[in-house]
Amino acid sequence: MPPAEILIEGLTQSCIYMTMAFGMVLVFSILGILNWTHGQLFMLGAFIVFYSTTAAGIPFPIGILLAGLVMAGIGILIKKFIIDRIKGELYIGVATLALIFALEGAASLLFTSDDRGLAIILPGVLNLGVVAISYQKMAVIIFTLIVMTAMYFVLNHTKVGLAIRAVAQQPVAASLYGISTERLSLIVMGIGCALAAMAGAIMAPLYPINPFIGRTPMIMALLAIVIGGLGSLTGAIVGGLILGFLHSVIAYYISYLSEVVLFGLIILILLVRPQGLFGASAK
């Protein structure tokens, strides 16, 4: 059994991957595309909460919501002015890939490449004797629980949620019932981008903030989706959990070779279950 610190850190990482992966899957299930700029929206979310807290003096929780709102708006603009105007999944994918570098470049110009930090938010450690956990990590875990509960409620107990599920499962039938897939896809894009930005915002006190912090979480979220099953929201959560824990635990046992083993395991999962743990079989 690995030490408790490793499990706590694994859970913290899982929370980030889960939130990111959930947003990506949501967008994929309605739009049918993977938004490769998810990591950069994560990065911009961190910058928004950094400046809203340090420059504008806005309380941190409100800064997180602000990051979500602003990036939801940006996400809708990306959908309207880029994704909708390009035909073909491959070309849309390429466009969102190009956006990675465009957004990182713009952020470098605007904020410079210097590292910033928000360690002043929720400083302190709760020492339980056998294990210590920082308040910042506790905040990440609680935030993820709240977001996931809210998403569960929205998807299962609201009209919008019902419409999202309907379009995800039967888009043609859903439109025949009067659901505007266009409007719905904008809402979903907004929610997905907001989740990425809020994940970046809640992470801001834990890690350095610079224009390049979105790359690793984006790759890990993508892997979580693949493990969980492309298109499955439950899969995104389980995939994120597995990945976060595996990453920390394997690194503890075998140090820097962890990535070889971790990514080898992912290939193994795909060989055994190409559709992922919760994805529908292609057959």
Partner 1 sequence: MKKSFFSATILMITVMVIGMFSMCGTAVAEEPIIINVAIISPLSGPAGPWGQVGLDVYEAWLELFNKEGFRVNGKLYNFKNINYDSLNTPEGGAACAKRAIFEDKVKFIVGHWDTSFLAVSAISNPAKVILIARNGNEAVGGGAYNPEKMPYVVFGTPSHEKFLSDIKAIVAAYPNYKRIGISDSTLGKGVGWDYVDRDLTAAGIRFHHEWYPFGTQDYSPYITRFKEAGCDVIYGAGDVLAAMMITKQRWDMGLKYIKTGTAGGLLDPKMYIDVSGYDASQGFIAQHANPLDYKKTKVNPKFIKMFREVQDMVSKKQGKPFNYTAWTDWGCAHMQILAQAMMKAGSVDDPDKIMNAIRGGTFDTMAGKYTMSGAKTYGSPIVFGNPGCISIIKGNKEVYLSENPWKPIP
Q: C-beta of 277: minimal distance to partner 1 in Å?
A: 22
Contacts of residue 245, defined as CB under 8 A and 6 or more positions apart, other chains included, come to 7, 10, 11, 14
101 binds partner 1 (CB under 8 A): no
Is position 133 an interface residue for partner 1 (rule: CB under 8 A)? yes
Q: Is 110 in the site for partner 1 (CB under 8 A)?
A: no
Q: Which of 256, 267, 281, 283 binds partner 1 (CB under 8 A)?
A: 256
Name the residue nearer to partner 1 (CB basis): 38 or 137.
137
| Residue 223 Cβ vs partner 1, minimum distance, rounded to whole Å | 14
* C-beta of 88 vs 129, nearer to partner 1: 129
Dihedral sign for Cα 79, 84, 86, 91, please: positive
38 is a site residue for partner 1 (CB under 8 A)? no
Q: How far is the CB of 142 from partner 1 (least distance, A)?
A: 16
**Residue 273 touching partner 1 (CB under 8 A):** no
The residues that touch partner 1, with contacts defined as CB under 8 A, are: 3, 5-6, 8-10, 12-13, 108, 112-120, 123, 125, 127, 131-134, 136-137, 206-208, 210, 212, 215-216, 247-249, 251-252, 255-256, 258-259
